[in-house]
Structure 1
Amino acid sequence: MPRSQLTTIVLLILLVAMVRLLPHPMNITPVGALGLFAGAMLPARIMWLLPVGALLLGDSLIGFYSLPILLMVYLGFAGSAWIGRALLAHRRTPFRLGAAVLASASLFFLLSNFGAWLVLYPLTLAGMAECYVNALPFFGNSLIGDAFYTLLMFGSYEWISRHQDSWRYA
C-alpha cells in the first residue's frame, strides 16, 4: 500500500473516530462506518482494532458501562470490520455499500440489544421481545448514522484518491 494511500486512510479514520466524542443523537455515530471502512481498506489482522480502538478511546473519556452490554457493543462494531472485508474490500458499488450498511447496523442491533436484555430486562422470551421492540427507534438511527458516515468516508477517500496526485505536483 503506497504511503500516501495509508496516510489518507489513517487521517480519515482519526477524523471520524474523533466525531464520536462530539454531541450527537443517540446511535448516530461514525463507528459502524469506521468498521466498514477499516475492513475494506486495511489488512484483516488489524482492521477490527480501529472500531474497537475508537470505542475504547471514547469510553475512556466518556465513561464505561455495564460489562455485558459493553462487550456486545464492541463485538458488534468489530463485526462491522468483517462485514466491510467481506462486502467492500475488492469491489465497491452502491448496492454493496447499502448491503454493508444494512448488515452492519443489523449485527450491531442484534448484539447490543442482546447485551441490554441480559442486564436490563427479565431473562424471558417476553423480556427479550420487549427489549428488541423498545430498541427499534435506535435501529433507525444506526442506519442513518452508518449510511451517512459510510458515504462520507468512502466518498471522501475516492475524491481524495482522484485528486491526490494533482496536489502533489501543484
Structure 2
Amino acid sequence: MISKFISDYLTDTQVATEFSANPGEVIERYKLTDAEVAVLQSKDLDKISELVDDNVKELIAQYKSNSNAGTIVTGWTDIKPFNLAINPSQLTTGGATFEIVGESLPSKAHITFVKGASVAVKATDVKVESDKLITGKVNLDATGLYDVKLFNEFDKHVGTIENVEVV
C-alpha cells in the first residue's frame, strides 16, 4: 500500500492535508506496515523508491527534479522554508481577511486553518499576489489557537504558521 500512499500524496492535496493534520489515521487507512513507516521516517527518497512500483518511482523522480523539492511529507527532509508570517497576527471569528508573507511562495497554493485533530477550515478567495504575498479569507467559528498550513500545489510542500490566535 505504500505505492498507493505515495502516489496519492504527490497527486492529491487532500491526502497531504490529512496526513499533515493526523498522520496516524492516514498510515492506518493505507495499511502501511511498520517497516514501510520506518522507511518513510528514514527521510531517504532512494529507500522509499525501492518499495514502490515503477509508476510511483517516476513520480518521485519528477518530484526530486523540481528545484523546490526536498520533502514528500512534512518533516521527512529539510527544505528551503517559506519563512511565513500572517497579518494580522490575531484574527477574529466569522469572516476574516488575511495576508501571508514569506519568501519564494508558490504560484498555486491552498491555505488551511487547523485546530487540533478535528477542525480544518480551508481559506477562500486565496490569491497569490507575488512570490512574497498571498491573500485570502477564512470563516472560523471557534476561538483558540490555529496552525495555518500553506500547501504548495506543485510539490506538496507544506509551510506552517503555528499558534495563530483567533478571538
**Fold conserved (TM > 0.5)?**
no
- TM-score of the aligned structures, taking structure 2 as reference length: 0.25
**Higher relative helix content:** 1
- TM-score of the aligned structures, taking structure 1 as reference length: 0.25
